[in-house]
Amino acid sequence: MPFPPTQWDLVTELNSGVEGRRSAALTQIVSMYSAPLLALARMDFRDCQPQDYEEMLQIFLLKCWEKNSLGRADRDKGTFRSWLITVFKNAVYNEMRNGTWGPTSRTNLKAYPKGGLISTSVLLETYGPLMEPQAEDTAETLFERVYQYRICTAALEEFREVCEANDVVSKYQVFVARYVDPMKDHTGHKPLPDLANFAREFGYPSGEACGRVLRAALTEFRSIAAKILARDCSSMQQAERECDLLVGTFLAN
């Protein structure tokens, strides 16, 4: 499987001047960052109505397309997502200050593709409680948590594809049962079956054999997640640290 482009490769595509390449790059950015941006917007702009957030993101993305705001990102000045947060906040504040957007001033979106690029209702349904701030959260830390979860789901999808390609689907299934399913209520309180029960359920000869598969699966998942994180990190060391945080937050211990 080819390694997907980094965020900085996407910036290059945004600056290519080729509409198809620019559109594909923006679509990838939307896929990875729309949920974190929605979480940030709901916390930073709390006086807005639910429909305002969808309009807010749609307008921002339209401006990014028209003015290529994201194409001016500079790798020497930090991560791509830190640039994205700054550009997004500035865009919203400017629209509000100029009176061209806001709860009482609706913006004409006729230039936007029918249906837009995102649905905030779908994002809220998909990410559920993760979208809700905790007591100690800032808008930026909430953005990071939702972003980490988005990375986790992307890594899980890639891990599943790898296991299917290598005809070891049970490796993915037992990994999900051991590390992912117990966290689906976002508490991790679901009791974990012992390895012998996992072995019987997934067809391994013993609990010890199942344990070896689980350790290998966790190592492989971590490698995939770290590579995805590295697309937006200044170094592989930073990606590994962020991977530690991801695993500690979204996988059962």
Greatest alpha-carbon pair distance for the chain in Å reads 68
- Residues 156, 73: Cα–Cα separation, whole Å: 29
On the question of pLDDT at 5 being above 60, the answer is no
Mean pLDDT of the 79-107 span: 75
Average confidence score pLDDT of the chain: 83
Q: What whole-number percentage of the chain has pLDDT above 90?
A: 40
On the question of pLDDT at 115 being above 50, the answer is no
Q: What is the pTM of this model?
A: 0.83
- Residues 179, 76: Cα–Cα separation, whole Å: 36
Q: Give 103 or 243, the one with higher predicted confidence.
A: 243
- The two structure tokens encoding residue 49: 């109505």
pLDDT at position 226: 94
What's the pLDDT tens digit per position in 23-48?
787 788 888 889 999 999 999 988 88
- Residues 241, 13: Cα–Cα separation, whole Å: 28
pLDDT at position 137: 92
